[in-house]
Amino acid sequence: MKVKLVSNILDANTAMAAENRRRFQQEKIFVLNLMSAPGAGKTSILEKTIARLKDRVSMAVIEGDICTTKDAERIAALGVEAVQINTDGACHLDANMMASALANLELNSLDLLVVENVGNLVCPAEFDLGEDLKAMVLSVTEGNDKPFKYPLMFRESKAILVNKIDLLPYTEFDVEALRRDLAEINPGAEVFLVSARTGEGIEAWASWLERKVKEKKDF
């Protein structure tokens, strides 16, 4: 019998991600993979997004963290089903972890599944989970020089949420410079200026996301 060798971790991940994607297609669930550095505001943006969408689309959240269930508890407090994955040290989610988390969800009742990845600007962008869309959060306190430093994540993300926009006057963050850099790295990206704290810009982002969810549902 011929032996098949899966030559590296990323090949194995791609195969598992394809299997996840097939399930999401079958159940017509739109899956968002939300990424950022630690502290950029993924969970806070998610809380505000849930407040806008939870009565309009049936949704659940998978929370990826190295340890603790803190973020899943914040989501569950809003009445949305949340599954926490603890990676025990791994700095990203992979398609296998995703598949295990799916066993805890009623997939056929869902329209939208949001995966909050581990806070890290590097390898989360390398591991396909089977999602429909990758989005990322860049907070203004991190600086506008990040796209060229972490090009893969900025290239892979269809939506880029610039968070903490309420703090803009207290930083050197240059929104126009960011737009210029993104025009080079990822010209098709949708850019949303938001503040999870004040709620500014959340409506535009949530409506955009809702349209994506409905497009898949009706397809």
Nearest to 214 by CA among 128, 77, 177, 206: 206
By CB under 5 A, the count of residues binding Zn ion is: 3
Instruction: Return the percent helix, strand and coil in the chain, to nearest 5.
Output: 45, 20, 35
Interface with Zn ion (CB under 5 A), residue from 123, 133, 175, 191: 123
Between 91 and 167, whose beta carbon lies closer to Zn ion? 91
Task: Name the minimum Å distance from CB 98 to Zn ion.
Answer: 14
Amino acid at 184: E
Site for Mg ion in 8-47 (CB under 5 A): 42-43
Position closest to Mg ion via CB: 43
Is 99 buried (19+), middle (13-18) or exposed (0-12) by CB count in 10 A? middle
Interface with Mg ion (CB under 5 A), residue from 71, 94, 128, 132: 71
Contact window for Zn ion (CB under 5 A) among 11-19, 92-100, 149-157, 193-201 = 92-100
- The tokens describing 211, both together, are 């349209």
Contact 40, 163 (CB under 8 A): yes
Contact window for Zn ion (CB under 5 A) among 90-98, 107-115, 160-168, 175-183 = 90-98
Q: Per CB under 5 A, does 92 bind Zn ion?
A: yes
Q: In what order do the strands lie in the sheet with 30-36?
A: 81-86, 59-65, 112-116, 30-36, 133-139, 159-163, 190-193
Residues at the interface with Mg ion (CB under 5 A): 42-43, 71
For Zn ion, the binding residues (CB under 5 A) are 91-92, 123
